[in-house]
Amino acid sequence: MTWWEWWWRWWRRMAIAPGTPLPQRRLFLLPTRFGLVWAVLVLVLLLFGINYQNSLAYGLAFWLFALAVIALLRTWRNLLGVIATLRLPPEVFAGGEARLGVVFSGGRPRSGLEVHVEGAAARLDLPEGQGEASLALPAPRRGVQRLPLLRLESSWPLGLVRALAWLESRESLLVYPRPLDDDAPRHRHAGAGLEASDFAGLRRAEPGDSPARLAWKQWSRTGELAAKAFSVPPRQQLWLDYDACRGDPERRLSILCARVLAHHLAGDRYGLRLPGVTLPQGEGSRQRREALEALARFDPAATARREAP
């Protein structure tokens, strides 16, 4: 094990889990560049006062030192006890960004809290003890993506020191394939289902029926209020097959992803066939979610190894 790997593993062991109050032993204080300059200034003033017996230099040096100690304690208390929880995005497609929500709960007002991860950062204040920051995580590839290590920090109020802590979650993001709309077939886009078209008879009127659907002529003859019933044309029932698509495995999965989205909008009843995986025909939001999850978790390499002689 290299020195860097050992150091990184040690830092990961010092990370806390989401939902855990930040304890004292997991909180670190590091001086900033401004803080180092401040310390040098205090030392220079102290030496000046000793050499020249200047009481003004003594007083200024001790005043700056006391101010630095107070600022250090305030910075330490500003991050101590903070509870951070994660809010995963509902769905993420490859090639886009995952908006990861970090919810802070401080129990009391906090200022200048920051969260950093892989080039993205957010800063927020907690005037009422609670707040939420949003981080944009890149999602370049399909599949299961582990959440990175988050760094919590604060240099409030003077920026002399930086309080640091790390947050590590065992949760992961499930990234769906990037849909290829150009390869998706054209379907009806009639919302959650199909529009009723053929007249099928009369039924007893119910509260909430549209006045245009009520049979007023029937009511004038019989005195009973009825509503017109219409039949709905049958929905398409089909299979989305991996072997029927062309291209490399990722392109096939992207085509199937676009077709799943299109059939869901059209209200069709569809199933999904992947090598080694078969999702029965269904419809609705649950079918859409299960189909996208199957596409995201599909491993073409494992399938090729099983098919190899």
Tens digits of per-residue pLDDT, 137-153?
999 999 999 998 999 99
- Give pLDDT, residue 91: 92
What is the rounded distance in angstroms from the CA atom of residue 160 to the CA atom of residue 37? 9
**What percent of the chain clears pLDDT 70, i.e. is strictly above it?**
80
**Of 108-117, 202-211, 283-292, where does mean pLDDT reach its minimum?**
202-211
pTM above 0.85, yes or no: no
Query: 73-121, pLDDT tens digit by residue?
Result: 999 999 999 999 999 998 999 999 999 999 999 889 999 999 999 878 9
What is the rounded distance in angstroms from the CA atom of residue 189 to the CA atom of residue 163? 53
Q: Cα-Cα-Cα-Cα dihedral of 157, 160, 162, 163, to 10°?
A: -60
205, 223 contact by CB (below 8 A): no
What is the rounded distance in angstroms from the CA atom of residue 152 to the CA atom of residue 164? 6
* 192 — pLDDT class (breaks 50, 70, 90): very low
Tell me how far the alpha carbon of residue 277 is from its chain's centroid. 27
Instruction: Render 19-55 in DSSP notation, one character per residue.
Output: TS---GGG-EEEE-HHHHHHHHHHHHHHHHHHHHT-H
Listed residue (26, 41, 294, 273) closest to 152, CA to CA: 26
- Give pLDDT, residue 267: 83
